[in-house]
Amino acid sequence: MPDEEAQRTKGRLDGKVAFVTGAAGGLGHSHVRRLAEEGADLVVVDICRSIDTVPYAQSTPEELSEAVETVRGLGRRVVAREADVRDRAALQEAYDAGLDAFGRIDVVVANAGIAPLLVEDRVQAWHDAIDVNLTGTFHTVEVAIPSMIEAGQGGSIVIVSSTAGLVGIGGASNGGLGYAASKHGVVGLMRSYANNLARHSIRVNSVHPTGVATRMVADPAMAEFVAQDPMLSEGAPNALPVDTIEAVDVSHAVLWLASDEARYVTGVTLPVDAGFINRR
Ligand SMILES: NC(=O)c1ccc[n+]([C@@H]2O[C@H](COP(=O)([O-])OP(=O)(O)OC[C@H]3O[C@@H](n4cnc5c(N)ncnc54)[C@H](O)[C@@H]3O)[C@@H](O)[C@H]2O)c1
């Protein structure tokens, strides 16, 4: 193959391995596809069962299998586990299974998250948002750090936050406040990890999507919740003329942060928001 042709077909993550949580969901499956398209092998994790305070369904084991098939269909290797990011031991087991299979993990995408926005408000919704979105992200990074440092090859950690991690949106419900607090909380984690891990050339950044057309937003129960809260439902939220963006728009940003193209980018909160934040 001529040099130029070889260059063109080279993936941006060739030889790398990525660990992705919430991998069976709307954004998660999209990240998995995009990372695999660029040459990464994958370690994928999802809870694969619903959570009581969340009004829309979480992914099923079949949907996790679909994510696995996506990776295989792209000619990459994959290790998959059903695990809850709240369960540190289960998450460590999943991570270690990937490490055993591939010998390295270079990229971590802490994507699993819930929006427990209930019309019938419950304090438990606050706890679940904090446990999954904030503590789950902490667990996801913690299980990865020792092997990434030991490998001495640097790496990239991408935390999926939200526009609700940068401005005071989310409404006044227990779950909405928990969502906003947890999505702001992961920014504190991101900034601290970015400083702590820089000397190991491990970069840590967060992405902040506006509404994406996944189950989290499109489910009728969520539409009902948003409609009854004037703060959430008023006006067109984005500056650019688009109601919701596509999952792949966020995955492109995740891929860039994961790749060596962003090798000197760390500690950054990157909105993928069609101008939502700038408009506030
Ligand atoms: N959809 C949006 O509008 C939007 C906007 C901003 C940020 N986000 C964030 O993007 C991320 C992905 O959301 P999505 O839109 O793909 O939602 P989704 O509901 O389609 O997918 C979330 C996935 O995470 C999994 N999951 C939930 N709890 C888990 C747990 N405890 N352990 C392991 N897996 C778990 C679910 O099974 C599901 O597969 C979330 O962190 C969310 O907060 C979404």
Q: Is the pLDDT of residue 2 over 70?
A: no
DSSP secondary structure code for residue 201 in this structure: T
Give dist(CA 99, CA 143) in Å, integer: 11
Give dist(CA 140, CA 118) in Å, integer: 26
Range of the domain at 258: 14-268
Query: In sequence order, what are the beta bridge partners of 239?
Result: none
Q: Is the pLDDT of residue 9 over 70?
A: no
Q: What is the pLDDT of residue 231?
A: 73
Q: Which of 56, 95, 179, 193 is catalytic?
A: 179
27 lines ligand 1 (CB under 6 A): yes
Q: Does residue 2 lie in a domain region? A: no
User: Residue 166 in contact with residue 148, Cβ under 8 Å?
Assistant: no
Q: What is the pLDDT of residue 175?
A: 95
Q: What is the pLDDT of residue 230?
A: 74
CA of 74 to the centre of ligand 1 (A): 23
For the chain, what is the mean pLDDT? 94
Q: Does residue 66 lie in a domain region? A: yes
Domain count, the chain: 1
Q: Does residue 275 lie in a domain region? A: no
CATH number at 74 reads: 3.40.50.720
179 is catalytic: yes
209 lines ligand 1 (CB under 6 A): yes
Residues 186-212 have pLDDT tens digits of 999 999 999 999 999 999 999 999 999
Q: Is the pLDDT of residue 3 over 60?
A: no
CA of 152 to the centre of ligand 1 (A): 31
Q: What is the pLDDT of residue 223?
A: 83
Mean pLDDT across 121-142? 97
CA of 55 to the centre of ligand 1 (A): 13
Residues 223-240 have pLDDT tens digits of 888 888 777 776 668 999
Q: Is the pLDDT of residue 162 over 60?
A: yes
DSSP for 146-197, please give it.
HHHHHHTS-EEEEEE--GGGTSS-S-SSHHHHHHHHHHHHHHHHHHHHHHHH
Q: Does residue 274 lie in a domain region? A: no
Q: Does residue 273 lie in a domain region? A: no
Give dist(CA 101, CA 78) in Å, integer: 9
Mean pLDDT across 42-61? 97
Burial of 5 by CB count in 10 Å (0-12 exposed, 13-18 middle, 19+ buried)?
Answer: exposed
Q: pTM for the whole thing?
A: 0.97
Sign of CA dihedral 29, 31, 32, 37: positive
232 lines ligand 1 (CB under 6 A): no
Q: Does residue 262 lie in a domain region? A: yes
CA nearest ligand 1 atom 21, residue: 25
Mean pLDDT across 134-139? 99
Q: Is the pLDDT of residue 183 over 90?
A: yes
24 lines ligand 1 (CB under 6 A): yes
Q: What is the pLDDT of residue 206?
A: 99
CA of 227 to the centre of ligand 1 (A): 21
